[in-house]
Structure 1
Amino acid sequence: SDINRTHGHMKEIFVNDPLSDLGREDILNQMEKIDQIVVSLVVRVHMDKGIATIDSTHLLLLKDLQKSDIPIVTFSFGSPYLKTYDMLETYVCAFGYGNVSVRAASNALWGRQDVSGILPVDLNSTMQRGFGIKKKKRIKSWDSVKNIDFTNAFSILDSAIKAEIFPGAQVVVVKRGRLVLRKGFGHQTYDTGSPPVTNKTIYDIASLTKVLAATPVTMKLISQKKLSLDQNIQQFYPQFTGGYKESVTIR
């Protein structure tokens, strides 16, 4: 999940089926060393009842969690009409189940974007139509590059370029599947008048790079079934034509 990728130090508990008293107690016992709880509710309208609700045993768990001293934020994916759930301290409505709603909720949680939504309907006596808490985005969001100090790494690259160990470099840093940094350094040749290295500079994969970068990445993509050795290179680079290049495969 995005929470896990961004924060890292977290525990996920999935509750899909009705909970027994023992199951509810087990979850509550796991909360002893937790300092923040984020609850995701998938709220559907029960057609036979004409109301939006969740399983009654899940509601008991929510009430028990609210009695603890642990701060709780509850996200509702789907219908926001939980009129009788006044015990929810912080309630965020995402109004849907799709990727857009999930991404918006995650951005709101981490302060990546402004939060300015208001309720279009009355939920209860406290949360009525037009109610909403507006929050400005954080100056430094959790996944911002500004939170990571690359000064030492940059100085090493600058020193290597000045010592003419290499004329330039393109650096890409990925953490838990999320792009953290992409930056170019130096020039394409030792001539300072040559084009600078940018994020769009294309390098010829050769020598050690082929073994240390291209091969492991290709193996990973194949294991994930995202790539086949028999696919033509032209499928990915249409400009790769002429001189029988159309028949060249990844293999």
Structure 2
Amino acid sequence: MKLTTRALVTPFAALLMTATTLTGCAQAGGSSGKGAADGLAAPAKKDIAMQLVSSAENSTLDWKAQYGYIEDIGDGRGYTGGIIGFCSGTGDMLRVVERYAKSRPGNALERFLPALRKVKGSDAHTGLGSPFARAWAEAAKDAKFREAQDAERDASYFDPAVRQAKRDGLGTLGQFAYYDAYVMHGEADADGTTGFRTIRSQALDAARTPADGGDETAYLDAFLDARVDAIREEPSHSDTSRVETAQRVFLDEGNLDLDPPLAWKVYGDSYEIKSS
């Protein structure tokens, strides 16, 4: 979990990536958006969600190439790595490595567990450094490591975000808006950041959820407004394009089902997912 603008990739990070080129941690209305029972959890929609997040986190739609990504982006959260930017400073990177150690005992990352526990809550690299970064990148070749990242993403971010969105009566776009907020801000507030719970609370001050009889578009507008405010409060990050020229575009188009074709911009770069 983190806030990140990863438009530039350091030479060191480029050497560590397991994929080709990279081009984000923290703690009455109703619509056709509720048409599909699975919503964002449907495989095709989940893949769209991952592409959207990757456009903001890695400046590419190729999210499956990001398992080996790792670098310190200077946001105060230590190392950022993997498919949604797990961070050494926030503890989710530690949980990924713990999951990996359970499924692949003796792997090359396991020896860094004590160091990851010590640096949690800080931006320190103590006991990690380039040996850890190289081991992380190398581990991305192992399906067990990729599964550990997938499992941590789902347990800490995707599943709770989608559950809450469904409880609020939101369709696929709203579920994605919640998920992206979880990824970037985490669930709860941390020092200097505003978490998902507060963002949602601020949205509820301005509009009712569809589950409470409110209009879905009006509520999502309020949620995105609160999200933009949260991004602007973050000392190291102020670019709101992942909301204003992406999610807000889909909302203004009335695309509450998040159906392709989709066209959006993040950090000035243009992206497109075509119809299947």
Higher strand proportion, which one? 1
Q: Give the TM interval when normalised to the shorter protein.
A: under 0.3
Higher helix proportion, which one? 2
Normalised to the residue count of structure 2, the TM-score between the two structures is 0.24
Say which one has the larger Rg.
Answer: 1
Which structure carries more relative contact order (alpha carbon 8 Å, separation 6+)?
Answer: 2
